[in-house]
Amino acid sequence: MSGQHTVVVGAGIVGAATALWLKRAGHEVKLIDKGEPGMGASYGNGCLLASCAMVPVTTPGLIPKGPKYLLDPKFPLFMRWGYTPKLLPWLVKYLSHANDSDTRRIAKSLTHIVGDSVEQHQALTAGTPAAKWIQESDYNFAYADRAAFEADAYVWELRREAGFVPELIEGSAVQEHEPILGENTKLLAVNKNHGFILNPANYVKDLVALLVEMGGTFIQAEVKDFDLSGGRISAVDTDQGRIACDQAVISAGIWSKPLMQKLGLKVPMEAERGYHILFKSPNIHPRYPMMVAAGKFVATPMDQGLRCAGVVEFGGLDETPSKAPLALLRRTVAETFPQMQATEEEEWLGFRPAPTDSLPLIGEVGTSGVYTAFGHHHIGLTGGAKTGRMVASLITGQPMNLDMRPFEPDRFA
């Protein structure tokens, strides 16, 4: 199917990867975004290639714990209460998956998306300038003590089943391994064969520049509609004009939801408001990226400084940040890294696309020629390269040894 014209909507990591793999397969590719490449959720994540991140948030026991978490000012879960009536239908469906069978099913499917993330990003960028942003590393989980680690036994069991078995470091050896950590961290679970991106925004920009260098096109425009008048996609309408195509890919993160409504599909997906603080020019930084279990945040030594990303808030697409999530994140960082000081701090708020079943939508919408590649919740950067390759394979008819049914975009119809 070389020589086909494909429009990819959304220039984050998923859209950029999809466009590159399609271009390499001989397609004429136009990548469209209403903003600059890499400046949405692909900008503000934890920079991780977290191959072991296949366990969803909705694990067994979440339902009875949820109200306690929301009312605990020290727990990194927040709600804008005025948004609750609108959130409720999504929340009921989301929490319905907080059981063992659904958790295992979701984790098994997500393993296919994230389990080989470093290799997939390396394959995407091999021999290109974008490869310089990929850093192989360990990925550490920091716990107060062994009891705190064992409280996560269910999650670690699922990771072990997927092939991720951590090496445990305890006592004073923790600070020898990671000097940035204070004495309140007494156990590290070290995961080998992971990685991170030194600068996610610049990484995506380089991928898009590579696409253009190969003869693809980037257009800054807002998509208004799709022409499906003949039963299949024939054009994408934008505020810059109509673009004819043989296929289209929707990979616009949370902004994919209104685009899907134009196709007659209502996707049960909410915006999870995610925050990060970038500590610039810190006097000390971790040797490897780490997840701090007590604060549920990731700390990554990127090229701009130390980025600490985490905290979950529900409250829609209002771009005004809340004070409480950032205050908690700042306080928890100070408790975890008591010796760390920075010359400057930069705050960020973005929107993670969270479907009710924690699985991204990857595949063709019926026989329309419109393909989906969005809904990655916390794993967008990690799974972006693999997702792009999967969508390109579907469009070009290349066989994949993978059951795509869990990701079908029609599953909510």
The distance between the two most distant Cα atoms of the chain, rounded to a whole number of Å, is: 68
Q: What is the end-to-end Cα distance of the chain in Å, rounded?
A: 29
Note the pLDDT of residue 343.
95
Note the pLDDT of residue 73.
77
**pLDDT band for position 1 (cuts 50, 70, 90):** low
Residue 18 phi, psi dihedral angles, 5° rounding:
-60, -45
Average pLDDT of the segment spanning 265-269:
96
Note the pLDDT of residue 131.
98
Asked whether residue 408 carries a pLDDT value surpassing 70, the answer given is yes
- How many CB atoms lie under 10 A from the CB of residue 125? 21
- Tens digit of pLDDT for each residue in 91-148? 999 999 999 999 999 999 999 999 999 999 999 999 999 999 999 999 999 999 999 9
CA-closest candidate to residue 52, choices 146, 105, 116, 102: 116
Note the pLDDT of residue 177.
97
Report the CATH number of the 5-412 domain: 3.50.50.60
Domain boundaries, the chain: 5-412
**pLDDT band for position 67 (cuts 50, 70, 90):** confident
Phi-psi region of 163 (alpha: psi -120 to 50; beta: other; left: phi over 0): left
CA–CA separation, 7 vs 300, rounded Å? 34
- Tens digit of pLDDT for each residue in 306-353? 999 988 899 999 989 999 999 999 999 999 999 999 999 999 999 999
- How many CB atoms lie under 10 A from the CB of residue 93? 15
Note the pLDDT of residue 68.
79
Distance of CA 47 to the CA centre of its chain: 9
Note the pLDDT of residue 250.
98
Residue type, 310: G
- Edge-first strand order for the sheet with 5-9 is 217-220, 28-33, 5-9, 247-250, 370-374, 361-364
Question: Please, are residues 54 and 159 in contact by the beta-carbon 8 Å criterion?
Answer: yes
- Tens digit of pLDDT for each residue in 195-249? 999 999 999 999 999 999 999 999 999 999 999 998 999 999 999 999 999 999 9
Instruction: Give me the chain's average pLDDT, please.
Output: 95
Q: Which two tokens stand for residue 363?
A: 């595949």
CA–CA separation, 342 vs 362, rounded Å? 41
Note the pLDDT of residue 3.
80
Residue count (the chain)? 413
Residue predicted with more confidence, 79 or 170: 170
- Tens digit of pLDDT for each residue in 276-298? 999 999 999 999 999 999 899 99
Listed in sequence order, the residues at least 6 apart from 118 whose beta carbon sits closer than 8 Å to its beta carbon are 49, 51, 134, 136, 193, 194, 195
Least confident interval from 26-35, 188-197, 394-403: 394-403
CA-closest candidate to residue 45, choices 313, 297, 385: 297
Asked whether residue 82 carries a pLDDT value surpassing 80, the answer given is yes
CA–CA separation, 38 vs 209, rounded Å? 12
Q: Tokens 């991106």, residue? A: 197
CA-closest candidate to residue 341, choices 279, 397, 286, 299: 279
Asked whether residue 377 carries a pLDDT value surpassing 80, the answer given is yes
Q: Kindly tell me the burial class for residue 198, based on how many C-beta atoms sit within 10 Å of its own C-beta (0-12, 13-18, 19 or more).
A: middle
Asked whether residue 260 carries a pLDDT value surpassing 80, the answer given is yes
Q: Which two tokens stand for residue 26?
A: 């001989």
